[in-house]
Structure 1
């Protein structure tokens, strides 16, 4: 079953004092409820593509699983909007654990980073990552943007790509920026891709939650055409992630761990 990712709609367009009717394409939203070992875990509002990878990546980022081999079965009912996951070792979902805030003092300097409990357990410092040149940074963001026909058509999705320093390996898109990353993470887990040579290219704002997802993937460099938040940069400092933002028109800003960027 191929779920529609766009619908056509008649609109009124006003521009330079002129109003006209047009037919445009609008991105769709899809609700997917995930059950783990018979327990309802979450409902994800997403773009209806790469749903299996979305489920796997989300569960991995939440600490429910760490490898593809831990899944006994994953069944999608696209018509009903439901995913059923059975694990080799069944788990009991503790609602007090998933979503509970954990306060960690970072680097012994008296600062505090705010993580979910599972983030504190899963997001570890990334010690091995490639070195990237300025021309490669600019090129990867440009290639990521060209990879999404849906964004060019609708303007309504976020884009994310798994890359080496020289090429884009895999691109995913979604109405939710976290979902786009989870789709990449799910594919990475299924295909057992190692992370030490990988880079994330991303279209959206680098929030603390986005940064933590990248850290959980074990990837040490994140590039974005948008801005980071202060908390994201604090976490990037602590977790040894290189954060590059505002990659636009041949320019960019390096916020954290610049030793991985060949600026000289």
Structure 2
């Protein structure tokens, strides 16, 4: 499961000789490669009660995929692994409390796994209806004397900045541009044109999440949670309604029909990402 940004990751590795037996090494180094390709080498200690087993603690500072490489000498050995760090505020349609309550989970033992599937559920729902959790987006458009430009994600809550990617290019004050929140269309209030390679920064999502989207998210979460456990246990409301009539491009059979029906009023037009 992904680690929270700022959390401490305990890295572990085992040094084994060519015969496969745990062995104390002359040197032990672990290198963590961050998403930006920089590296750090946390201090390594050997587990006192088990020679040949090593550990190091690393405090996460950057979201994304991290690579871990252990290297020992005398005996020569190496081991590679990865771990993920999620954003400081990952979008989630359902709170952990709501997700736990819907799945009738009294214990908090599975909270990390539940958070993972909750985030996956959010991605699945937003595939159909666009951003639900309000957050910032940045995208670039190469425009040539354009009357308007259409932002990729809707509904748009606010356009915060339009800057030129190129040095010396034209920037456009956000308060002089009109934004159609439902379609994402941006055009100058003065009726002028947009020109250049421009970077648009804006917020998109819902300030109030409709009940049908919340209900669809609950159904998808429950479906993913139970099916990945080999279908042990029934749905919260009883029964086993996992009906999926056909695979969805990019999602396979991850979304039940009744969830799609609930999301239908807010579905994006065909061809809109």
Tell me the TM-score normalized by structure 1.
0.23
Q: Point out the structure with the larger strand share.
A: 1
Tell me the TM-score normalized by structure 2.
0.23
